[in-house]
Amino acid sequence: MPPAFHLEPIDEDDPAAGYRGVVDPTGFVGREAFAQALVDEGLPTDAETVLALCEAEQAAMASLMREGWDVAVPGGIAETPWPDAEKAAQLGGTVSGRAMAGKDQVRRRMIEHGIPHRHSHVEAFFSAQEQVTLRLLLEGYEIEHPIGRMSTTIVGRFDGPDDAFDPQRHEVDIEFGDLDVRDWLEGYREMMRRKLADPPRPLLDGYEDANTGRIGDYLRAGHMVCLRGYWLRFRRSDPEQGVFFIAEDGATRRVASVAFTGLCEAAFVLPLDLPSGLYRLEVRTVLIPRDGLQRGALPDPILVAARAA
């Protein structure tokens, strides 16, 4: 679903010209509010630290691009606007296929700019940044993002005032407030545009039995489980949301004891009385209210063993 929008005539004097979609602005999220949004969504640190990470990321990207690198950023690629054949060759690339600075290089450069954070903290920051950006854009906000101010726009012609959004004819695009960054962010723009086309839903990557340290193995009733992935935050007070174990016969059990739920991780205690057997592990959450309940599950069933005597 696109952000909320209304239709306006393309040409007031020519109804046959059709209509264009105009996003209804929800508000503006400045740099400090963007940092707080990452914290609110479950990033395990404070807004001041996140703001420092955003500033270090911006400085790292700028320094790498001044050296001629293309830079991998959360959500896409930032392409250097001034390709230089000699510099590209020194870095192992070419003007037509320049060298790429991946997340590890961005992370190292951020640390060089004075951010004394561990690898896992910066990686969590990258993941949270992409997910929060997508959510805020789909909710109609304009964002002061570390790589530039951005908002959403609707692309495509509408046939009349009652026409509806059709993914075959229309798409959600990103509008950059700073004209100077549009060209070198085209790679980022294209990748984010594809992600905006589908409503976000929980994506589950793996799990660990925190009591035993076993990863991707069977689980035991009563043990703490750490679940990894994306879009894992849910409202615990809503009985429709949460972590669910679905048995082969369709019987469904919602986990009651949840220790933590965030963008990229959830931790919970497996019910003591959960019967042994194979289960489908599913996370259900409302990420954007107008999109309703979204579900995501591990691709393979999980074996649950009864609690040890």
Q: Does residue 161 share a domain with residue 99?
A: yes
Residues 134 and 55 in one domain: yes
Mark whether 213 and 187 lie in a shared domain: no
Q: Dig out the tokens for 58 from the structure.
A: 């911006």
Does residue 212 share a domain with residue 110? no
226 in the same domain as 121: no
Query: 284 and 263, same structural domain?
Result: yes
Distances (CA, A) of 28 to 139, 142, 216, 242, 280: 11, 5, 42, 30, 40
| Centroid of chain to Cα 18 | 34
Is the domain of 67 the same as that of 207? no
Domains: count for the chain: 2
Q: Are 171 and 155 in contact (CB under 8 A)?
A: yes
Q: How many residues does the chain have?
A: 309
Final residue of a structural domain among 178, 196, 214: 196
Residue ending a domain, among 196, 215, 248, is 196
Judge if 73 and 142 occupy the same domain.
yes
Query: Residue 255's domain is classified under what CATH number?
Result: 2.70.50.70
Last residue of a domain, one of 143, 178, 196: 196
What pLDDT score does 280 carry?
Answer: 94
Give the residue numbers spanning the domain of 177: 5-196
266 and 128 in a common domain: no
Same structural domain for residues 188 and 221?
no
Q: Render 230-288 in DSSP notation, one character per residue.
A: ES----TT-TTSEEEEEETTS-EEE---EEEE-SSEEEEEPPTTPPSEEEEEEEEE-SS
| Shared-domain flag, residues 188 and 240 | no
pLDDT recorded at residue 73: 64
> Are residues 62 and 173 both part of a single domain?
yes
If one counts every other C-beta atom within 10 angstroms of the C-beta of residue 240, the result is: 13
Along the chain (309 residues), what's the average pLDDT of each consecutive run of 10 residues?
85 88 90 87 79 82 72 58 47 48 76 65 77 85 84 90 89 74 62 73 87 86 88 88 94 92 85 92 86 88 82
222 conformational bin, left if phi > 0, alpha if psi -120 to 50, beta if neither? left
> 25-44: string of b/e by CB count within 10 Å (b at 16+)?
eeeebebebbbbbbbebbbe
**Residue 304: closest CA among 273, 282, 283:** 273
Q: Can you name the residues that pair with 105 across neighbouring β-strands?
A: none
